[in-house]
Amino acid sequence: MMALWDAVAALPPVAQPAGMRAAVLVPIYEDGDDLRLILTRRPDDMRTHAGDVVFPGGMIDDTDDGPVAAAIREAWEEIALPPDHVEVIGGLEPLTTRRPDMLIVPVVARVRRPRELIPEPGEVDAIIEPTIRDLLDDENWRTEEWGGHLLWFYEFPEGILWGATAFMVRGLLEYFR
């Protein structure tokens, strides 16, 4: 199992760029001989990113001490992942979504998964926990060109991973290749 964790040892520190507005937690946990990610599906009636498959996260509040604190707080609020179960191991490249002024900081963490994750109904319709092994299989992904950009898509029974979150996942997977 240590060899899998060694793959992400090369992650850079969490970025703190000017203009950061949001942070997401990229939670990874051990499951037997594999690692799993924790993703969520947003409700269809959400004001933004309705129905999207995303990492737990959101806006960085004035009370947060940066993106790490925001990502951990949001994971607690959205899926009841206890803050003391989170060990930050690095970050991925910050990126934007459909709003170019919304710079998102991905915070990668090794987590101890509690017996039960509890979705906050106003923010989470489903919790999705794919294995890194399945995500590494490019046969499970498809691509489409949108406006001159190549986008990645991964279909789960609960919804489709695409856009900024798929870009983050693909970036994370590079450390495991």
Please give the structure tokens belonging to residue 105.
């900081």
Does pLDDT of 167 surpass 80? yes
Q: What's the pLDDT band for 2 if we cut at 50, 70, 90?
A: low
Average pLDDT of the segment spanning 109-135:
96
Tell whether the torsion through CA atoms of 56, 60, 64 and 66 is positive or negative. positive
Confidence of residue 118 (pLDDT cuts 50, 70, 90): very high
Average pLDDT, the chain: 93
Mean pLDDT value across residues 108-132: 96
Question: Is pLDDT above 80 for 30?
Answer: yes
- Fold classification of 2-176 (topology level): Nucleoside Triphosphate Pyrophosphohydrolase (3.90.79)
Q: pLDDT of 127-154, one tens digit each? A: 999 999 999 999 999 999 988 889 999 9
Please state, for a pLDDT cut of 70, what percent of the chain lies above it: 98
Is pLDDT above 80 for 98? no
Q: What percent of the chain has pLDDT above 90?
A: 79
The residues spanned by each domain of the chain are 2-176
Q: CA distances (Å), 55 to each of 32, 72, 146, in order?
A: 22, 11, 22
What pLDDT, on the 0 to 100 scale, is given for residue 1? 57
Picking from 70, 2, 57, the residue whose alpha carbon sits closest to that of residue 33 is: 2
Task: Round to whole Å and give the CA distance between 155 and 134.
Answer: 12
Q: What is the pLDDT of residue 172?
A: 97
Q: How far apart (Å, rounded) are the C-alpha atoms in residues 44 and 88?
A: 30
DSSP 138: G
Cross-strand bridge partners of residue 86: 111
149-156 and 53-54 strand pairing: unpaired
